Structure 1
Amino acid sequence: MGAREPVLIEGRWQASRDAGGDFRAFDPTRGTPFGPAFPVSGAADAEAALASACSVADELAAADPERIADFLEAYALGIEHDGPDLVALAHLETALPIEPRLAKVELPRTTGQLRQAARAVRERSWTQPIIDTMTGLRSHLAPLHKPVLIFGPNNFPFAFNAVAGSDFASAIAARNPVIAKVHPSHPATSQRLAELAHRALVEAGLPAAALQVLYHLDPAQGLALAGDARLGALAFTGSRNAGLALKARADAAGVPAYLELSSVNPVFLLEGALRERGEALAQEFFASCTMGTGQFCTHPGIVVLPRGADGDAFVDAAAASFAQAPSGVMFSRGVLDHLQQGLTDWREAGAELVAGGAAAEGEGYRVQPALLSVDAATFLADRRLQSEAFGPASLVVRVDGIEQAVAIAQGLEGNLTGTIYAGEPDAADEARLAASLRPRVGRLIASRMPTGVAVSPAMHHGGPYPSTGHPGFTAVGLPAAIRRFAALHCYDHVRDELLPVELRDRNPGGIARQVDGRWTYDDLGAAP
């Protein structure tokens, strides 16, 4: 057995204590392993990582926020300096294109998130200080004083990576240690990010053990770690089955679990929009469905449109694009198998293949985009047709007028997004549909495909179950994402010098605070 790459535990890179085996990255374009061996950690590694993170939780919670912000900014700069090497690694491990996806889109998004987190730390806006002078009560959001366990997904090697993404930035911004269980689809990329993060932590004067990194865990060990009451919170992005299994363990231990699971992101096309620009919408839909080989959590999995000539023309135009599209590369054999099973489930539930879906030729994990169709009554009768087929595939649902479209919206499970394309004569129908769709999606979109997720303070990347485990929190958008990993602390007539700085009478940092129902930057007692 050859040497394995080290894990980051107890503030230093060291050999795994009890690796139960090893694995290597796979080249998705060829389906062959490459690169060094990484350990599959066992109970001893997991326990050491958890104990080490717990040992610095109080120290990190008491750290000067300026140091936290300095770390986040230095880490972002380190990623940028190492950008070409990181992008090359991620390309090898995921087959995602270097240009523009990795180099021009995802890497800048990642560093932008880190810098937004740093800004929120300096402004302390995420703490939401509230002072009520009549009752003597003061409260704010504060660190958990416990570690956050983050499970990273396969589809974003940078922006959602457990050691660089929004979950990581949010947990660190709230001054909590992180135990990162990175995704085995891109171990070398994650290792390099962890090296940069570790160096930036030390240079910022923060505890090196604020970050622990494990590459892979046996599923049973992952469940055991998720169910340890010493954790402050858990964050997961991935499949519904895996996420709910982790949540069950976390719930039993009283650990809050924030999950991003599956979503079909329905798109409704109304008659006026189809009549005005149907062919252009067909191309827009095809591009969104196949972008990144459909491996986006917000790709349009269901398209609802009326019967009739305009709807037929849309389907014909989209079908032509799907039929002519080249095959794309999936992240792994498991992801490809899951997509093929999803398409089988759709067809067994009554959907018919319209275009594409043929066996893809060539090496690696290749798939041809697929477009399927079903009528509204069949869709409403079988919930399997709402299951996510993660990849370049979508299901067209044909409806007889707005009443059936509204029934479809009302019958949907929770989703991350819901989109309505409306034309000039569709205003009344759009309003009805929006009212039905609004409670069932996290983000309601007008006349735009759902694929993009802007890193904005106003972004909500979440939604009702089963798209996430909790409808009130977002995985993207700062400072809101930070609040997942915070505790609400209340002080009742506590003297000023014992209060956290956000709640003291003086406000030298100029923090926005709610004092007696009014937001202000002033010291307590200052003239309005």
Structure 2
Amino acid sequence: MPGGAEVNTVAPLLIAGQWQAAQDGTGSFRAFDPASGEAIGPVFPRSGVADVEQALAAASAAAPQLAATGPECIAAFLDAYAAALEADAETLVQLAHAETGLPATPRLRGNELPRTCNQLRQAAAATRNRSWTQPVIDTAAGLRTHHAPLGKPVLVFGPNNFPFAFNAVSGGDFAAAIAARNPVIAKAHPAHPATSRRLAEHARRAADTAGLPAATVQLLYDVEPALGLRLAGDARLGAIAFTGSRAGGLALKQAADAAGIPFFGELSSLNPVFLLPGALAERGPALAEEFSGSCLLGSGQFCTNPGLVIVPEGAAGDAFVADVQARFAATAPLPLLSQGVLASLRKAITALREAGAQLLCGGEAGDTGFRHAPTLLTVAAQDFLANPQGFQHEAFGPCSLLVRVADVARMQALAATLEGQLTGTLYRAADGSDDDAWQALAATLRPRVGRLIANRMPTGVLVSPAQQHGGPFPASTQPGFTAVGLPAAILRFTALQAYDNVPDALLPPELRDRNPGGLLRCIDRQWTTADIGAGA
């Protein structure tokens, strides 16, 4: 693992444009190799009050400077950062693989790192075309509005399961906040600190080259929980982005709410999959293979992992369950990201069994490292309906709960009990025999999911302007927004600002009579790229 020579030194923090030692660290930690459970790499500091205060002060001072920076400089930074990550791909992948246990290929090298660079470049494009500003102009009333930078820093908490694509210092939240011209205080996940440090080194160099304020990007590796809550409640922040556990997210949200800080959290999701009778009869073996591959991909550590599958009773359903059970049982215990993930998974499985779920296979931790056997549980629909909250525990890892139902009516009743989800999937037969049931179930699921899927497992989130990676609580805390997909994701980190009777020369460029660069604007209820007064 790169950085091995630094084992006996404490890594520096990135604060106010400088790599510096922690001022008042409250402890230290190292990363772990999930496959062996052994500590690896250098020592990293757990920051104290002084480090946090310095980062907040520096970011707050940089915020108005960054808000006044031209779009081309921001875009140049994002493009240069993406190019730097591509050039350093081998080292980055080696670091992330060592710290997370995720496959170097194809997962990290072939999929996640290219996705991360693509996100950064999409953010650069959105910065240049200014589409996220969404100008609306009423010439008769003298009113003009647009989305603008917050004028305050954004705090980003990175999750453990995507060391690149959701990393606090390189992922989608980071890219969206920077595209909106806000400084980012990145709170890295302690499961992959060396990866985060390497990313931040590239970010700092790209920011310096682009001429951005020194505190545009800052990195803290870890803080004590109490200090994290204090940070989340600091009114100098403009917004917070969080991906992680429901318990941790809700504690941070409470602190942010008390200070009036918008909190965009992705907390938990079961991503229910409904196998309609016609689809199951038509292609049951293929569905068993597709589901097993989806649930076990990446050791099941995806926020869109299919954790709840509704299976009809009868011969076709029995065959599906037997097929999946055999596939799970034949798979060796899979490495998880951390000891914490392993402990949480075991706790969730215990809760499901105590609620009445029957264990079909798995349920045990592995012998070495942070491993757990692929686990399959089942429960009858009537038991689920009698205690729906007891069976809606997210088991983050290679685990899923199969609910056996007598008919489509019971499927719809079950769907009506579900909490908010990131996704909901319905499999239908190709001959149209399931279409009436599909429509009925879709109507029930639609207000409960962010993304409604047909005939495809939910694992994976395409980076597309049309994407919605969010949903009703507890899938996310802000169902009207998405964490993936530009320019929509940028809107989380903006303020809607109105100008009333302000002279043209004093307006932001997006709202002036002359259109900057062909921006699509709504002028007097008509969307147009024309200048105001053109052709009059």
Give TM class, smaller chain: over 0.9
Residue of structure 1 in register with 2:416 after alignment: 410
Cα distance, 1:359 vs. partner?
4.0
Residue of structure 2 in register with 1:435 after alignment: 443
Cα distance, 1:358 vs. partner?
3.7
1:136 aligns with 2:142: yes
Query: Which of 224, 238, 244 is the equivalent residue of 1:218?
Result: 224
Residue of structure 2 in register with 1:512 after alignment: 520
Instruction: Provide the secondary structure at the position in 2 that maps to 1:139.
Output: strand
Instruction: Give the whole-Å Cα distance in 2 for the aligned partners of 1:65 and 1:359.
Output: 50
Residue of structure 2 in register with 1:319 after alignment: 325
One-letter amino acid of the structure 1 residue matched with residue 374 of structure 2: P
Q: Runs of 5+ in structure 2 lacking a partner?
A: 1-6
Instruction: Give the whole-Å Cα distance in 2 for the aligned partners of 1:216 and 1:488.
Output: 32
Deviations 1:393-412 (A, max 9, x none): 00000111011100111100
How many residue pairs get matched? 527
Change (3 A) 1:359 1:161: closer
1:379 aligns with 2:384: yes
Deviations 1:377-431 (A, max 9, x none): 1112221211100000000001110111001111000000000001121010000
Deviations 1:490-510 (A, max 9, x none): 011100000000000001411
Instruction: Provide the secondary structure at the position in 2 that maps to 1:342.
Output: helix
Residue of structure 1 in register with 2:506 after alignment: 498
Residue of structure 1 in register with 2:495 after alignment: 487
Instruction: Provide the secondary structure at the position in 2 that maps to 1:490.
Output: strand
Instruction: Give the whole-Å Cα distance in 1 for the aligned partners of 2:370 and 2:314.
Output: 38
One-letter amino acid of the structure 2 residue matched with residue 225 of structure 1: L
State the TM-score, normalizing by the size of structure 2.
0.97
Q: Runs of 5+ in structure 1 lacking a partner?
A: none
One-letter amino acid of the structure 1 residue matched with residue 461 of structure 2: V
One-letter amino acid of the structure 1 residue matched with residue 409 of structure 2: E
1:115 aligns with 2:115: no
Instruction: Provide the secondary structure at the position in 2 that maps to 1:56.
Output: helix
Instruction: Give the whole-Å Cα distance in 2 for the aligned partners of 1:317 and 1:485.
Output: 46
Residue of structure 1 in register with 2:100 after alignment: 94
Q: Confirm or deny: 8 A CA contact 2:510 2:516 kept in the other structure.
A: no
1:289 aligns with 2:295: yes
Cα distance, 1:373 vs. partner?
0.3
Residue of structure 2 in register with 1:104 after alignment: 110
Residue of structure 2 in register with 1:20 after alignment: 26
Which consecutive segments of 4 or more residues in structure 1 shift more than 3 A?
none
Residue of structure 2 in register with 1:467 after alignment: 475
Instruction: Provide the secondary structure at the position in 2 that maps to 1:526.
Output: coil
Instruction: Give the whole-Å Cα distance in 2 for the aligned partners of 1:128 and 1:413.
Output: 32
1:426 aligns with 2:434: yes
Cα distance, 1:2 vs. partner?
4.7
Cα distance, 1:35 vs. partner?
1.0
Instruction: Give the whole-Å Cα distance in 2 for the aligned partners of 1:356 and 1:23.
Output: 32
Cα distance, 1:461 vs. partner?
0.3
Instruction: Give the whole-Å Cα distance in 2 for the aligned partners of 1:262 and 1:441.
Output: 12
Cα distance, 1:356 vs. partner?
2.5
1:231-242 matches, within 5 Å, as: 231-242=237-248
Query: Which of 30, 46, 71 is the equivalent residue of 1:40?
Result: 46
Instruction: Provide the secondary structure at the position in 2 that maps to 1:190.
Output: helix
One-letter amino acid of the structure 2 residue matched with residue 440 of structure 1: R
Residue of structure 1 in register with 2:366 after alignment: 360
Query: Which of 159, 170, 176 is the equivalent residue of 2:165?
Result: 159
One-letter amino acid of the structure 2 residue matched with residue 280 of structure 1: A
Identity of aligned residues (%): 62
Instruction: Give the whole-Å Cα distance in 2 for the aligned partners of 1:172 and 1:151.
Output: 15
Cα distance, 1:360 vs. partner?
2.2
Instruction: Provide the secondary structure at the position in 2 that maps to 1:5.
Output: coil
One-letter amino acid of the structure 1 residue matched with residue 381 of structure 2: A
One-letter amino acid of the structure 2 residue matched with residue 495 of structure 1: P
Cα distance, 1:306 vs. partner?
1.1
Residue of structure 1 in register with 2:357 after alignment: 351
Instruction: Provide the secondary structure at the position in 1 that maps to 2:117.
Output: helix
Instruction: Give the whole-Å Cα distance in 1 for the aligned partners of 2:215 and 2:69.
Output: 14
Residue of structure 1 in register with 2:4 after alignment: none
State the TM-score, normalizing by the size of structure 1.
0.99
Instruction: Provide the secondary structure at the position in 2 that maps to 1:322.
Output: helix
Instruction: Give the whole-Å Cα distance in 1 for the aligned partners of 2:450 and 2:135.
Output: 26
